[in-house]
Each structure stands twice: as C-alpha cells, then as structure tokens.
Amino acid sequence: MIKIVTDSACDIPEDLTREYGINKVPTHIIWEGKDYLDSVTMTAEDFYKHLSETKAIPTSSQPSAGEFKVAFEQAVAQGAQEIICLTVSSALSGTFQAASSAALDFNIPVHVVDTRAVSMQQGWQVLAAARAARLDSSVHQILESIERVRQKVVLSVGLPSLSYLARSGRLGQAFKWIGSISLSVKPLVAVNADSGKIEPTGVVRTQKAMIEKVYSYFKQKIGDGLKLHVVVLHGSAATEANLLMERIRQDLDPLELLVTSTGPVLGAHTGPGTIGISGYYE
C-alpha cells in the first residue's frame, strides 16, 4: 500500500481528507503567546472569528521533522509499504526540508515532493496522488499524476488589502510597486508554478472588481479542455464565494466543483475577505 502524506497548508476540505485517507501534518499558528495546530486546535472558523477580535498578529511555523516522522509512522501502522509526501512550496516555507529530513533514515521508502504551490494549488496535487493510489497505481505512476496536475493547475487570489501581507512580514520585493501605490488597494496574486513564489498579477479598487479580476485571470490561464476540477476559496466570505461558485457552475460546467475556506496558514497572510479560485483540466 502507498499512503499519501501532506501538510495542512493544502486547504483540502476535511471530508475529502478523510475519504481518501490522507495523513495531514498540521502547521503551527503562533498567536498571542499560544501555539495552535492548524485544523486541529484551531479551525478556519475559529481563526477568522479570533482575527476580528484582536489586533495581535498571528504567524505560522512549519511542522518539525519529528512531526513528519510521527505522520510517517502512522502511515506504516495503517499498512503503508511506501509513502509519498507532498509539501507546500519550498520557496514559501521550510516544510519541504523538514519532511525531507524525516524521510532520510525512515524504515520504508518516502518520496518527498515539492508541489511549488500553496492552498488548493497544492491540494489538487495531493488529491491526484490519493486518487491514483486508490487505483493501486505504482509510485512512478502516482508521481507522474502529480506532475501532470502541477503543470496545469492554476491559482488566482484576490486580497482585500495589502495590510495582512505587510503585517506578516511577507511583503516581498515583488510587491513593492503595489505598496508604493497604497496599502488600501486590492491586489491580485498567483503562485508561479516553476519558482513556487507568490507573484502580483494586478490591483483593483473595489471588492466587486477584485472578484471579477480573480475570475477573468483564472479563465485566461486555465485555457480550454475537458473534465475541469475547480475550487472556490474564501477567507470568511462565504456568500461571495457561493455566488462565484454558481457562476463557475453555469459558465464552465466543471466535473468537480468545491468551495472551502482558506485555513489559518494562508489566512494569516491574506486576511478576511480574500477570494480565490484554483483548478485544472485533466
């Protein structure tokens, strides 16, 4: 048996995590002197509720090599003979290095994959791996499935402002031109599938324009094809996300359509009101 392990930055809905038996290693959320485990001791709902109640700045911390080793041991106890572990982009976190360290001297083969992605851009790769594993595919076949999705999957995200990126210290050089305009603009960002880095794709002034740009960028980048898998992501903006989901259903007729909240890992850097779309054509 081949088991799939990932980290909680993938934002895969919990029902799918359970359905496919994915072992998820939680990222740490450090907030007001307390250490929370993403999706374990702090849910997305808890996170956004608390975010509205405090001015304290949450930060995230990668899982340790020891925590990955525990997850690998759990996979072995579940019958794993080999493990494929997919992590958030190594350009954004040390998670890949931690997982690789845990895999070095483990007692069964562990293949660690840098998805060069975050949120459901990572999550779609994880689901592709889990679905291939359920079909009793070989490690080589599963790794090929991951790579096919990695090359196709698109993530388009609109942020309500730059303030959370600025507060979290993640306002990198690529965002300097936006920050020079105003922290009050609503930036659009994407993750470069080659570098694994977050890149700005534009700015708008209103929430309505932000959602429209998120959608148009996604449609432009996704191209044409059959069997579309797509998810609408939101940070405490369920009403807007559901409206966007219905628009996608009518316009694109996807094979698979999900809506889910961004977890604390992404939410700490993007804030409430964030809207995103991620998906790929088979």
Q: Judge whether 37 lies within some domain.
A: no
Whether 102 has a pLDDT exceeding 90, the answer reads yes
Residues 203, 124 share a domain: no
Stretch 102-124: mean pLDDT: 96
Residue 215 has pLDDT above 60, yes or no: yes
HEC-encoded secondary structure of 160-227: CCCHHHHHHCCCCHHHHHHHCCCCCCEEEEEECCCCCCEEEEEEECCHHHHHHHHHHHHHHHHCCCCC
pLDDT at 266: 85
| 171, 138 Cβ separation under 8 angstroms | no
**pLDDT-derived band of residue 183, with 50, 70 and 90 as boundaries?**
low
Residues in the chain: 282
Task: Report CA 64 to chain centroid distance, whole Å.
Answer: 19
Domain span including residue 79: 2-27+62-151
Distances (CA, A) of 111 to 86, 87, 102: 8, 11, 11
The span from the CA of 5 to the CA of 275, in Å, is: 27
d(CA 201, CA 182): 16
Do 217 and 92 have their domain in common?
no
pLDDT, one tens digit per residue, over 28-46 is 999 999 999 998 999 999 9
Q: What is the mean pLDDT of the chain?
A: 91
Verify that 246 and 198 share a domain, yes or no: yes
133 and 204 housed in the same domain: no
Confidence (pLDDT) at 152: 96
Instruction: Convert the pLDDT of each residue in 241-277 to its tens digit.
Output: 999 999 999 999 999 999 999 988 888 888 889 999 9
The answer to whether residue 259 is domain-embedded is yes
For residue 43, being part of any structural domain is answered with: no
Answer whether 92's CB lies under 8 Å from 198's CB.
yes
- pTM above 0.75? yes
